[in-house]
Every structure is written in structure tokens, then in C-alpha cells.
Amino acid sequence: MEKRGLAIAEIQEVPKGNLILLTGSPGAGKSTFCYQTVLNGLTLDKPVIFVTTEHGPSEVMNLLRERGAGEPLPSAINFIDAFGETVGASNPERTDTVTANCEDLNSISMAIAKLQERIGRHDALLAFDSLTSPYLFNREEVFRFMRLCLAKFASEGNSVLALMDEGCGKEEDLGAMMSVADGIIKMEIRESSRTLNVVKHPKVRPARIEVPIESERVGLKARIIDPGVLRGFVRARIAGETVIRKEVGDFVNLFWPNLAHWSGMLWEPKRFPMMTYELNKEDGVMIRDIIPFFPWRWKLLLKLFLPKSFSKVKDVEKMWKLMEGRQPNERTGTIEYLEDISKTDEHYFRLYESSDCWGFENVGTAMASYIPPTAIAGLIKGFESWRGLERDWNTIETKCIGIGDPYCEFKLVPGEIGELRSSLEKDASTVERIHERLIERLMGFLLDEKPLVERPRLGSDIHIHVVFHVMAFPALAGERYRMALRMGGAKSGKEVGERMIESGLKEDETIKRVVDFMNYCKVGKVTMDETIRIKENCEGSQTKAWTTKIKEPSCFFTTGFLNGLFSAVKRQHVREVKCIVAGDPYCEWEIL
């Protein structure tokens, strides 16, 4: 194996006249590699053009400073912001920045040419972080863009480093992109190490370099709950009262959070499901912290009859009967404990009319993401912890509507489940198939008044607390997941707008029907005149209720969706200027 420091330094310097493609799964460390390459370029007095599609330029500059960039000369680094306009994010104006849009590759090509002219040199480093979003918006055009824009830019005496996520598209598309590149570096990540596989390089022979890393744990770091809010929430839920949204009510059509979840999954088909599982389970464990706010009768019942351990079938059965009828009905499905096939430390549950899975029959994958980790694994772990027994529990689906079964079933066991991760992770083609089914169903509703989704016994609505798990958890988990929701919303809004215009609808009628759809789904009370205003928006309402730390506009999916819609229909963009999370009385978007 080559010396780690020397080898990494060599491949982080992109040779003049070359295009290097850096690939790997989301989270493999590609952006970190890119930032170091940029710092090396600045050290060598290379002018840098940084194309950003996942963050605003100010965030990128802050990350570079954290890695020792200092304050580069004004002409040393220029940005192409292809993020803010795409998702409707509000970014500070910068003199070193040209705006573009991931939906329009021509706008990025023109921005590169403009900055090349501004720089006046042909030894620049172009860092493109990353091609994933442009690819997901313009699948058929990215190969041509790489060949006619990026490779051409490199051939003029410049250097190009372009990043691309693996697993977010078709393998043959990534192969075509690799064929354009002069060098290919693949990054892989394991629990304790990161591997850089130099497949080809104009100056370095093929090599594999391992770098030790600390494993990342996703958690609800920003979730700081006001005890008064929690006490009121618990008591109102037990009494069956409206808690969060006094005007609209606390139930939302399940189609909206499912659209958000699977739109975001397009950007994170591997990490998004595992993140969701871990955070949902963590939320279920919070029963341990919520019990003190229960009415005294409930606390007494739990203290007298709740077992310390849930290893035995009789103890799980006892718990299930004790909780039956006492849990607030979130309408996420009807759960049945299967004591006949359960045994010590191996319990089975059946879920009817799962809100995660209904409408996705035979899509080819198990889909339940809320009930198994939250209401089963997390709940059991939380109850045991409350009784002083600390051990982990996990659950895995064994049957699902998504794979053709009439209902969902899952197995619960203490400790780890080796095949859990592979069962949760999705491939890009499956996510695309699910997303397409959602868009087709939405178009049927918008154009032909066909139903969105309706379950025989539970209907179409779920409690807003479940929406929080889908739309607010990513906001608490980290910037990568916020970006996935933003971009997923922008893609869905763009597709809906384009298809409605193609159907022959006028622009204003298209916007009106989408606003009516959002009201039908009880997203909030949506009105539009010179601005778009949503009172009691479900995305912001739960974030505000369940964390006291975030105080800024946080309607990531809603903003992306509206921005994608307006960009496709009216060639306009929207930006959230007020948000209930930031303390405003409603959420509001200006139309630009």
C-alpha cells in the first residue's frame, strides 16, 4: 500500500487539462476531498470556480475556512450557486457569485463561461460539487454537458474535479460519465475506514488508499423540548383534543408526507432509510421521558403491571393489552401482536393498512418506516429503560404490501439484526418507481379528480405527529438530509408543473389546482395573492412544537415543491420569508 499522505496529496492535485470524476455513495467523504483539493489549488495560486448544488456559497466558504482557508483574495475563488434558485433558498448576495439552476444545465454552462471571462486565465480549477442534482433533474443531458462543457473547459488548460453520488441513478449512466473523464477515483466507506480507489489517473498509477475515520452517529441533536409544551401535548393527546393546529386540525392526508419522503429518497436511497429508522426508534424510546407527564392513573398502571423485561411472550402480550385503547390513534395502521408464532426474544406483529405502504402494492420492496422502529422497537426499549433494564431492540419487516402481501408483518428481537440495513436501503430504480407512482396518482387527482389514497377502515388521514417524523426529522438530523428534502421537493414540484402544462392547462389554473390539492391534503390553510401564505403549515408546526433550538425558516420540502412548481409553470421562483418556526404567525413565500 502506498504512503497515505503522499498518495492523497498527489490525487488531490488535479493535473492541468484534465477532468477527474470522483464517485462514491452519499456520505463517503467526496465533499471533504473536494474542499481539500480547492485549498490545495488556492495554495498554488490557482483561481478557483466552485459550482455548488447542495449548499449556498457562504456555507461552502465557512467549511473551507474551518479547514484553514483563511481569507482568500477576492479574485481567488468564485462561486456558481446552482442551489439557492433551484430550491428557493435565501442566500446572501455575494459579489463573487453567479447564480444558475440545477434544472437548466445551459445556465450552469453560461455561468462557467462568464466566470472564465472574469478570471481572464486558463489555469483555473473548476470544482463541481456535485453532479447528482443536475443529473436527477436532467438525466438525459448530463453526459452531453460533461463532454461539451466540463471536458471542453479542461481541454483549454484548466483542471476539473466533478463529484457524483453512486446509487442515485442508473449504473449505465454513471459508466457513460466515467467514459468522459481523464481520471476516476471511487470512494467507499466502512464503519472504521474510508477507501480511495484510484481507478485511473493521468499521473498516479491505480491504487487503493485506506484512511481511518470515526463512525458517524445520527441523532436528534437539535431536539430540545420545552417541558411545558410536552406536558400539554401528552395530556391533550390522551384526551383526544386538537393539540397543534387549532384551525386546520391535527390530521394530514397521508399522501403529502409520503410524497416528501420518497422525493427526498431520490437523493439518499442508501442513508435516508437508515437515518429514518434510527431517528424513529430514538423517538419511540422517548416514552421513557414522557411517562412522567402521564396522568397519575396511567403511571400507576404502568408501575404495577408493566414487566421489567419483554423477553417472554406473556409479558409482551400483557403490555399490549395494557396499552390497548390507551394510545392516541394516529391512524398509521392497526397493529396485532401474533403471540401464536412468537417466542422468547423473538416477537411478531402484524400491521394492517399501514400509512407508509398503502397504495404501493407490488413496488418490489418493504416500505414500513414508522410503526416498526417507533411504536414497537423504540417503545419496548423505552419501557425497559424506564424499568431500569438497558438493552437495544430492533425490528425487521418479514411481509409487506410493497412486496405483494395483503398486510405487513415484522419481527422484533433484542440486539442487532444483521440483514436490517440491506432490507432498509433502496436502489435508485426502486425509489424512482415509487416516486413515479406517486406523481402519476397526483396527476390523476389534479387532472381527473381521481382519489389520492383511501384505506377501507382508517381513511386517508394520519396524525401530524407522523408527518413530523417524515418532514422535520431530516431537519434535525443534518444538512445533507435537509438538502435531500429541498431537492426532492423541487423535483416533484417541477414534474407536476411540467405535466400539467403539457396536458393543456393554463398557468394560473395549474397553480390554482395545486393550491387546492395542498388544502385538500390539509398541508395547512393555503392562500395566494401577491405572496403564498400557509397558516398552520404541517411541516413547520411540528418542528416548532418539538424543538426550541431551531429559530429559522424550516419548511424545506414545501419551499422546494413550490419553487419547482413556479419555475416550471411561470419561470418564477419562490423564497420563504416568514416561518412559524422562526416565530412568525404563519409561513409565507415571496414570488420572484
* Residue that the C-alpha cell 390507551 belongs to: 326
Residue 456 phi/psi, 5-degree rounding, is -55, -45
Residue 490 covered by a domain: no
Domain of residue 20, CATH code: 3.40.50.300
Q: For residues 493 and 565, is the Cβ–Cβ distance under 8 A?
A: yes
Residue 162 covered by a domain: yes
Phi-psi region of 503 (alpha: psi -120 to 50; beta: other; left: phi over 0): alpha
Q: d(Cα 415, Cα 85) in Å, to the nearest integer?
A: 45
Residue 184 covered by a domain: yes
| 3-state DSSP helix/strand/coil % of the chain, to nearest 5 | 45, 20, 35
pLDDT string in tens for the chain (592-residue length): 344 444 577 888 899 999 999 999 888 889 989 999 998 888 888 899 999 999 899 888 888 888 776 665 557 899 999 999 999 987 778 889 999 999 999 999 999 999 999 998 889 999 999 999 999 999 889 999 999 999 999 999 999 999 999 988 888 999 999 999 999 999 987 766 788 899 999 988 888 888 766 544 545 544 555 566 566 666 666 666 667 788 999 999 999 999 999 999 999 888 889 888 998 998 889 888 888 877 788 788 888 888 899 999 999 998 888 776 555 678 999 999 999 999 999 999 999 999 999 999 999 999 999 999 998 999 999 999 999 999 999 999 999 999 999 999 999 999 999 999 999 999 999 999 999 999 999 999 999 999 999 999 999 999 988 888 888 877 777 788 888 999 999 999 999 999 999 999 999 999 999 999 999 999 999 999 999 999 999 998 766 666 656 678 889 999 999 999 999 999 999 999 999 988 899 999 999 8
Q: Which of 320, 312, 315 is nearest to 343 (CA)?
A: 312
Cell representation of residue 12: 488531490
Residue 203 covered by a domain: yes
Cell representation of residue 242: 386538537
CA max distance for the chain: 78
* Residue that the C-alpha cell 438493552 belongs to: 391
Element spanning 193, H or E: strand 193-200
Residue 207 covered by a domain: yes
Q: For residues 402 and 367, is the Cβ–Cβ distance under 8 A?
A: yes
Q: Which of 83, 40, 139, 85 is nearest to 479 (CA)?
A: 83
- Helix residue spans in 239-269 (DSSP H): 255-265
Residue 561 phi/psi, 5-degree rounding, is -60, -50
Residue 115 covered by a domain: yes
Residue 452 covered by a domain: no
Range of 76's domain?
4-212
Q: For residues 216 and 52, is the Cβ–Cβ distance under 8 A?
A: no
According to DSSP, residue 459 is labeled B
Q: Are strands 77-81 and 393-399 parallel, antiparallel or unpaired?
A: unpaired
Confidence (pTM) = 0.88
Residue 137 covered by a domain: yes
Q: How many domains does the chain have?
A: 1
Q: For residues 22 and 162, is the Cβ–Cβ distance under 8 A?
A: yes
Q: Are strands 77-81 and 97-99 parallel, antiparallel or unpaired?
A: parallel
Q: For residues 385 and 290, is the Cβ–Cβ distance under 8 A?
A: no
